[in-house]
Structure 1
Amino acid sequence: WFGRFALARSAAERMRALASFRPRMAKPVIGLERGLTDPITELNMGQTAEKIGHLFGITRPAADAYALESHQRLAKAQRSGALKGEVIPAVDRDGTVYEHDDGVRPDSSMERLAKLKPAFERPHGRVTAGNSSQITDGASWVILASAAAVRKHKLTPLARLVDSEWSALDPSIMGLGPTLCATALMRRQNLARADIDLWELNEAFAAQVLACLAAWEDEEYCREALGLDGAFGRIERNRLNVDGGAISLGHPVGTSGNRIVLHLVNAMRQRGLKRGIATECIGGGLGGAMLLEAV
């Protein structure tokens, strides 16, 4: 309607455009909201996080505490220079240099986070703007080369892509996707939980990450959904998203998968570790995982 009105040239055309106006047009639905709403279940991504948070008993304080830790870890990584060479400074039109992303809030607190209202399921929801990923713009790239190409072009590899896996599940619980694909990947490679040095599990929502961790510790879920004999077990927090994640750094949809792979490689190399898994949930009911070995 705005397009037709803007293109109207004569008074008559403008009047016809005005006559077609309807009250509902005063409250438009932004494209991002439509893009982040599943067309099958009609749930937006935040609501799917609420659902799996409810299924696994994730509390609001637990989600807030996870979000706070994400900001603190990212702030520490920025101060220590751990992200230099990975996050490239940006320059605006006036020549101002931005050395790092400014979404990080190291001065946040549980008290401040507790004051935020639920974003999707009021009044008792656990997902808020403070414990969700930030919607950001961004780009990320790596070079993927075969062994033959590495030799031919005398490249110095950072890591080896060992294996990858994709899994599908009910779109309304898409946030549990990482538990399916990562577990299947490890079973195929005959790896135990202790064999994985670091994990990057994309922080779409704090409740979603915590639900995945809880699911891996739930014997019934692991037997029925993952085909295991018992619980997969606990992933230690000192191995998971060690430098923060999308809650503090941002979630540039479309490049987050590449970003967590790149950061996993750098984090392993900085710590002298060997093996890691990068994994994320995907709207529509998918999960992807990649097994990497630092070189």
Structure 2
Amino acid sequence: MMRDVYIVDGARTPFLKTTNKAGPFSASDMAVMTAQQLFANQPTCAPTHLDEVILGCVMPSVDEANIARIVALRLGCGKSVPAWTVQRNCASGMQALDSAFSNIALGRSDLILAGGTEVMSRAPLLLNNDMTAWVSRMMSAKDWKTRLQTIFTLKPAYFKPVIALLHGLTDPTINLSMGQTAEILAHQFNITREMMDQFAYESHQRAVSADTHHHLSEIKTLFSNQGDYFSNDTGVRPDSSLQKLATLKPIFDKRFGSVTAGNSSQVTDGAALLLLASHEAIEKYHLPVLAKIVGTTWAGVLPSEMGLGPVYAVDKLMQQFNLSFQNIDYWEINEAFSAQVLACVEALSSDQYCQTHLGREKAWGAINRDRLNADGGAIALGHPIGASGARIVLHLAMLLKRENAHRGVATICIGGGQGGAMLIERGL
């Protein structure tokens, strides 16, 4: 018999928008500091009580292999607490939660720290293939004459670096960047530049309002070794306006496109962690319950339409738990791009799309805009890809508590053509 799985609490870092230099924290730094503050809020349990640590991370640095284990050891879990890292692109944080959910539900574990961490500002610059081959020849040269000959074969083009982040955000099966797939959806669903900018503007305005009204209590301050501190998401623009957004040029289709830096999610550093527990652990450690995870669904879609992943994941979720949109109080759809979220909303509310692609008699229905990303999303807050899936689940749980609401869905698109959706609820 499957056991219930509860969210005890959670915390995240401020999401730090990348600049032209490496950020002040490593991915493990961010996760460890977040976890420390999470456990400080739950004094009846300690890292040594954990059965597992499961983290999502897409681009760990070379010295942070299996970053979950590094975080567990630095956190003070002790050698006996196992830890493992998952990678499902943008949904890595949600995958970590789903993996933890499964292990607790099956009785393998009782108390798990799960979530995600990502430092995109430290994505490496790589040597291109020509330079790699040249270095190999240089290192294998047996004498000074051969080395000298090899030196004279060096060409300026060899110094052109490979930007790992750009390659990571490009689908190798279709040779399209994530932004180009957003352009495809904009064309397919007749989403205009004005619609995209309006959505982006609202994301910033909602994030500003949430901060002003102290609705982002899950954010915990970071302190650097240089004495700096970070208490807020640094990408939120209180001065954002439709006029300013309209001045930005398309970046993925410079001639005909509509997707700009302003209506896309930001490249960001950040971590988000949740403490999940069984009923037995709740009683043993006298823990509070923030929400219950009901279940998660995953779906595959065309890589060129990866932004529609939430449509198919939500369709499966609603069917699996026999729900309608009227049963959902709040939604979190990760804002990879304005066009992507707007396309998902349109697809789910379109009879024709749902009939043709989902095999339904009619559309699932319209999502109330006031109940969708109520406190802003990744366009304003940022999208550290390993952490975003955990962030939207955590904030949704906090939102349900704040609004005394019952049920919510967090859903996310995934590079490569997938979607994930998680259903959580609170008792009334």
Q: TM-score, normalised by structure 2?
A: 0.65
1:13 shift after superposition: 8.3
Deviation string for 1:69-118 (max 9, x for gaps)?
A: 1011001111111112x111122333122210111011011111111110
Q: Is 1:31–2:164 an aligned residue pair?
A: yes
CA drift of 1:260 comes to: 0.5
Superposed CA offset, 1:116-175 (max 9, x none): 110101122111111100011111110111222222222211100111100001111010
Q: What is residue 212 of structure 2 aligned with on the other side? A: 79
Match of 1:146 in 2: 278
2:247 matched to 1:134? no
Q: How does 1:99-248 map to 2 (within 5 A)?
A: 99-248=231-380
Partner of 1:66: 199
- SS of the residue corresponding to residue 139 of structure 1 reads strand
Q: 1:92 to 1:53 in 2, by over 3 A?
A: same
SS at match of 1:173: helix
Separation in 2, partners of 1:249, 1:13: 54
Mark the CA change 1:23 to 1:161 in structure 2 (over 3 Å): closer, same or farther: same
Q: CA deviation at 1:226?
A: 1.7
Take 2:182 and 2:313, find their aligned partners in 1: how far apart are those partners?
18
* Preserved CA contact (<8 Å) 1:58 1:210: yes
Structure 1 length-normalised TM: 0.93
Provide structure 1 residue ranges, at least 5 long, that are not aligned to the other structure: none
Query: Over aligned residues, Cα RMSD in angstroms?
Result: 2.1
Tell me the percent identity. Answer: 49
Q: Are residues 23 and 156 of structure 1, via their aligned partners in 2, closer, same or farther at CA, if it must alter by over 3 Å?
A: same
2:155 to 8, 22, 25: 22
8 Å Cα contact 1:117/1:123 also seen in 2 = no
Query: Shift of the alpha carbon at 1:225?
Result: 1.6
Q: Residue 180 of structure 2 aligns to a residue in which SS?
A: helix
Structure 1 position 53 matched with structure 2 position 186: yes
Q: How many residues are aligned here? A: 293
Counterpart CA distance in 2 for 1:186 and 1:20 is 62
How big is the shift at 1:26?
Answer: 4.5
Q: Is the 8 A contact 2:309 2:412 kept in 1?
A: yes
SS in 2 for 1:228: coil
- Unaligned 5+ segments in structure 2 are 1-130
Does the aligned pair in 2 maintain the 1:169–1:285 contact within 8 Å? yes
Which letter does structure 1 place at the counterpart of 2:334? N
For residues 11 and 272 of structure 1, what CA distance do their matches in structure 2 show? 76
Change (3 A) 1:12 1:126: farther
The whole-number CA distance in structure 2 between the counterparts of 1:48 and 1:116 is 19
1:135–1:250 CA contact under 8 A, matched in 2: yes
| Cα displacement string for residues 215-242 of structure 1 (whole angstroms, at most 9, x for unaligned residues) | 1122221012222111222111101000
Contact 2:330-2:407 at 8 Å conserved across structures: yes
Q: Which amino acid aligns with 2:374?
A: V
CA positional deviation for 1:11: 8.5
Distance 2:407 2:205 in 1: 25
